[in-house]
Amino acid sequence: MSVQTLSREQAAGKVMVALDYPDAASAEKLLAALEGIPCYMKVGMQLFYAAGPDFVRSLKQRGYKVFLDVKMHDIPNTVKGGANSVTRLGVDMFNVHAAGGRDMMEAAMDGVDEALDADSTLARPTVIAVTQLTSTSLEMLNDEIGILGTMEEAVKRYALLAIASGLDGVVASPHEVTLVKDFCGPTFQTVTPGIRPAGVDIGDQSRVMTPSEALQAGTDYMVIGRPITKAADPRAAIESIIEELIKP
């Protein structure tokens, strides 16, 4: 894969900062430090369950793109309703578990479409499937979840099911990007956690890549949490990541 040349804005837009905080006040401290940097903000279940739609609206009012990482997984009718609500909220991206099956993923897309039909001012969010969580080991996959075969086979099956259901991409390990792009096509989007700049603590992630390696592998968006949020100087940390993406 050839290395892309990115402007500062394009590079910043590929970085999804994981706002893994217990409440809005804690997240606001990081937002103050990163003010003016046009990165994507990822709101997961910890912050969303505490700070709710109002916090997402306030990010949108400040001009941020928002990935709502709530990994919906329920009966199709309920996921359709959830997808409808988050589309009306104005998120730019959200995700569902591919394990919910084709009917559930199609219902999510129906929920999005119904929201757009009802309000033409809304933009269509990007809908992403979770294939296998990066915390799932092969042993867990085979012995606990009951899916036989390799991790690659499981990821491939779910990615193909997601594309057949009309979704736009998958969350994947940066090590799976080439595999996903090979069988789902180059425009099928990949969102990759497990990114660690050189010299930064790996923490509980196992198979990591640096930002420039992930870019080279073809990832569309990289989710980065602790290397920014726990840095002594979060602004310097994200600036250095952006710099690395501009000059990989």
Q: Which two tokens stand for residue 35?
A: 């003010």
Binding map of ligand C5P across residues 39-58, x = CB under 6 A, - = no contact: -----x--------------
Nearest to 164 by CA among 190, 184, 189: 184
**14, 71, 80, 156: the active-site residue:** 71
Among 37, 104, 161, 224, binds ligand C5P (CB under 6 A): 224
Among 18, 155, 159, 217, binds ligand C5P (CB under 6 A): 18
CA distance 179 to 191: 13
Is residue 225 close enough to count as binding ligand C5P by CB under 6 A?
A: yes
Is residue 26 close enough to count as binding ligand C5P by CB under 6 A?
A: no
Buried b (16+ CB within 10 A) or exposed e, 77-103: eebbbbbbebbbbbbbbbbbbbbbeee
Amino acid letter for position 192: T
CA distance 191 to 136: 17
Cβ atoms 225, 200 nearer than 8 A: no
Among 60, 88, 157, 226, binds ligand C5P (CB under 6 A): 226
Q: Which two tokens stand for residue 47?
A: 């912050």
The residues pairing with 171 across neighbouring beta strands, listed in sequence order, are 130, 191
Binding map of ligand C5P across residues 168-207, x = CB under 6 A, - = no contact: ---x---------------------x---------x-x--
Q: To the nearest whole angstrom, how small is the minimum distance from the Cβ of residue 50 to ligand C5P?
A: 14
Contacts to ligand C5P by CB under 6 A:
18, 20, 44, 133-134, 171, 193, 203, 205, 223-227
